[in-house]
Amino acid sequence: MANCEKLLPLLLVLLTVNVMVRGASECGRTPVEMEAFNLAPCAGAGQDEKAQVSSSCCFQVKTIGQNPACLCAVMLSRTARDAGVRPEVAITIPKRCNLANRPTGYKCGAYTMP
């Protein structure tokens, strides 16, 4: 029993390292904070719901939005917040881009994508 207690911390460390190496995040192998930089063209549209959404923003949202969990994580990320993005505005971007296959009704933190 004492040997098991000594092995448990080692197993937890190895499991954590394995998850980090494999990049287990909402965005696969790319860390969420790094993926957030791809949405830089959306900064203005994420701050003001009346701001025009650029085609480069819509392209990035469409690409990242193929994985709704990743898109949600990016919109709620520290990088997005530091850029002044308001989550309640950011989640409206897919609709504002008129994306046919957008994640409508997807629960994103305290927000729901329209």
Q: Is the pLDDT of residue 6 over 50?
A: no
At 7 the pLDDT is 37
The rounded distance, in Å, linking the Cα atoms of 71 and 76 is 9
Asked if 71 and 61 count as a contact pair (C-beta separation under 8 A), the reply is yes
At 24 the pLDDT is 62
In sequence order, the 6+-apart residues with CB closer than 8 A to the CB of 44 are: 51
Q: In this predicted model, what pLDDT tens digit does every residue of 29-50 receive, in sequence order?
A: 999 999 999 999 999 999 999 9
Q: Domains of the chain by range and CATH? A: 26-112 (1.10.110.10)
Q: How confident is the model at residue 16 (pLDDT cuts 50, 70, 90)?
A: very low
Q: Is the pLDDT of residue 103 over 90?
A: no
At 89 the pLDDT is 96
The rounded distance, in Å, linking the Cα atoms of 46 and 68 is 17
The structure tokens listed for 114 are 């329209």
The rounded distance, in Å, linking the Cα atoms of 26 and 19 is 12
- The number of angstroms, rounded, from the C-alpha of 7 to the middle of its chain's C-alpha atoms is 35
Q: In this predicted model, what pLDDT tens digit does every residue of 79-92 receive, in sequence order?
A: 999 999 999 999 99
